[in-house]
Amino acid sequence: MRKVVLYIATSLDGYIAGEDDSLDWLFRVEGEGDNGYSEFYETVDTILMGRKTYDQVLILENGKFPYQNKKCYVFSHTITGSNENVEFVNGDIVSLVNEWKKQEGKNIWIEGGGELLHFFLKEKLVDEIRVTVAPAIIGKGIPLFKKGDYEMDLVLKGIKKYNQFVELQYEVK
C-alpha cells in the first residue's frame, strides 16, 4: 500500500513560512546539494497541496509548474476541474486519499500547506513525516503544526545532516 508522506522544511521554532508566506529565511541557510530533495522526489509519483501552496509554488517558480512528471492534486473550495498540470479536488478528502493509497504506485507527497496538513493529521491520513529543520528562528508565521484535537505517536526512522540542515524521518504508529 502506498504511503502519504509529509516532506517539509521548518524553522527551528516551528514555522514553515513567514507571516507573508515568505521563505527567505530558508534560502539564507547553507545546505548540501539539494538537501536530499532529489532522492525523496524519486520516491513519489503523486503530490497533494492546498490552493495557497499551489499559488505560492507558481510565484516561486515564475509561473512554471515544477512537477510536470507527477500526478498533482490541489485541494480547493472554489476551483474545480483541471488544467495541464493539476486536478482541483474537493469533497470527501478522506475517501479520495484512502482510494489513492490503495492504487499501485509510489508514495504520495503532501507538500502543504498548513490547513491541508492539519486536516490530514486530524484524520490520521499521514503515514510518514520527514521534516528538515533549518537553523533559523523567525518568531512568527505559519506554524508547522496547528493546535488541535489530535495526537500521533511516532517512531524515529532516520536522521540525516545536510550541512546546516537536519532531516528527521518518522513513521506514524
**Domain range 4-172, CATH architecture:** 3-Layer(aba) Sandwich (3.40)
Is the pLDDT assigned to residue 112 strictly greater than 90? Answer: no
CB contact at 8 A, 76 and 89? yes
37's CB contacts (< 8 A; 6+ apart) are none
So what's the pLDDT on residue 105? 97
Is the pLDDT assigned to residue 121 strictly greater than 90? Answer: yes
Is the pLDDT assigned to residue 97 strictly greater than 90? Answer: yes
Is the pLDDT assigned to residue 157 strictly greater than 90? Answer: yes
pTM of the model: 0.92
Is the pLDDT assigned to residue 86 strictly greater than 90? Answer: yes
So what's the pLDDT on residue 40? 97
Torsional class of 107: left (φ above 0), alpha (ψ -120 to 50), beta (otherwise): beta
Domain residue spans of the chain: 4-172
pLDDT, averaged across the chain: 93
What count of other Cβ atoms lies within 10 Å of the Cβ of residue 40?
18
Distance CA 5, CA 97 (A): 12
Average pLDDT over residues 10-27: 90
CB contact at 8 A, 47 and 67? yes
> Residues 21-67: pLDDT tens digits?
888 899 899 999 899 999 999 999 999 999 988 998 998 899 899 99
Distance CA 127, CA 80 (A): 27
User: Using only C-alpha atoms, what is the Rg of the chain?
Assistant: 16
Is the pLDDT assigned to residue 159 strictly greater than 90? Answer: yes
76 phi and psi angles, rounded to 5 deg: -145, 145
Q: What single letter denotes the amino acid at residue 50?
A: G
